[in-house]
Structure formats: C-alpha cells, structure tokens
Amino acid sequence: MLVIKLMSKYKIIIEYEGTNYVGWQKQNNGSSIQEELEKAIFKLSGEKISVFGAGRTDAGVHALGQVAHFDLKKIYYLDNIRDGLNQHLRPQPIAILKAEKVRENFHARFSAQKRTYQYLITNRRAPLTIYKNKSWEVFKKLDVDKMISEAVYFIGKHNFDAFRSINCQSNSPIKTIDDINILKEEDNIFIKVSAKSFLHSQVRIIVGTLVEIAKGKIKKNVKDIIKDKKRSQAGITAPACGLYLVKVDY
C-alpha cells in the first residue's frame, strides 16, 4: 500500500538585529537565528523541523529581509504563522514580517536569484549612541567621491580571491556583482551591493577596501587589486555591525 505524506511548505521573511547572535547558522557556541526560529516553530506547531535560510549571515550581522523556508504537516493560516511565531520569539530582536505558502520545489537558498546587502558607515567625529552596533563608526573624513569612482570596478564577473576570507569554503572565487551603489546622507554612507551569491566576507572586505582607499591608506585601485588576486592587497574586513541582508529576489 502506497502512503503519501503531505507537507505544507512555508516561506517567511525575517527581520533581526544580530548583535547578540552567533549568526544565522546553528552553532555550539551560542544562540543563532536559525535555532531560535526552530524553537518558535516547535512551540507553535509541536513539530521538530529544520529551517533553511537564503543567506548564512555571520555573527553580528543584521537582516531587514532574510528569507527562510520550512515544512509542516499541518496547514496554518498565514497570519497565524506570522503572529504565532512572533509571539514565541518575543522579546528577542527577531520578527517575522510575512509568511506565505510556496510550492514543494521552492528552496530559500537554492531558488534565490539575487541577494542584496547594505552596509552602513557613520562618518563623524562623535561616537555612536543610538546606532551603536548597527553601523561602522569611522572618525577620519572619507573621500566618498573616490569610493564611488572605485566601486564601479567591482561590477561584473571577476575572480574575487582578494576579497574573500581565509575561512571561505567556496570551490570557486568567481562571482558576478550585478550592482553596487554608494549614497551619502549627512553623516551616513550607504553601500548597497547585489549579486546572486557572495564569497564569505566578500561584502565586508569590499567595504573595508573602499574605506581604506577613501582614507588614502591604499593607493592601488580596485581594478588592479582584483587583477592581482591577493588578499593582502585588499583592505580590512569591515565590522559585522554595519552589514544588513536587505532583500532576496526569486
């Protein structure tokens, strides 16, 4: 006798403040976003399940539009998924913005076509207060025009060996940056980068390089740094606190 096991697949959009978490992925050294979501889903449904995210954000990284999916045996109203999970997540800085039912072949990570990250820098002499742990405070005045002119060289398909961490597990350093935009509003500098996927710490190393170029610490241009493929030629890895996963497109 053939038994068909029916499951319902749900996609959720998540906002979180990542300061006190070890990142998205479950680890033994502290609380993760993934683990806290799985706990909340168990409290809501009584089912022990795995949650799969679109991006494995590092410790201290935030999200405005992280996407995840999970399967449940029981069918729920979408508002009950959102509101029920938010109830069980309180008072943690993790919120479900939206829930929707998706097709069986949907995968939050592998179905994604584009991921957009935004990095926030506050460039002023005064220390941060309200945005502490939510922005990178840079005290030396930055040449933003120089950052903008150099950033265009990141766009396109390149070998990004110079812009990935020593812990990167990707088989290939080849990635395609679809777009990069830099906007200055008063003391804040917003750097938005879009691609289908990124190497480990790639966005933070891109930002760190642009900042060191803007300070005059790096004289080499981005085009030549990419060409040389040496991590030592690029800049520092910018702090995690300024990075946000903004949006995932499917």
Q: What positions carry a catalytic annotation?
A: 58
* Separation of alpha carbons 211 and 72, rounded Å: 45
Q: What is the largest CA-CA distance in the chain?
A: 73
The strand pairing partners of 96, in sequence order, are: 14
3-state DSSP call for residue 219? coil
Sequence-distant (≥ 6) Cβ neighbours of residue 24 within 8 angstroms: 32, 33, 34, 53, 55, 56, 57, 66
Output the CA–CA distances (angstroms, integers) from residue 153 to 113, 148, 165, in the order listed.
Answer: 22, 10, 20
How many angstroms separate the Cα of 142 from the Cα of each of 94, 152, 181, 189? Answer: 33, 17, 16, 10
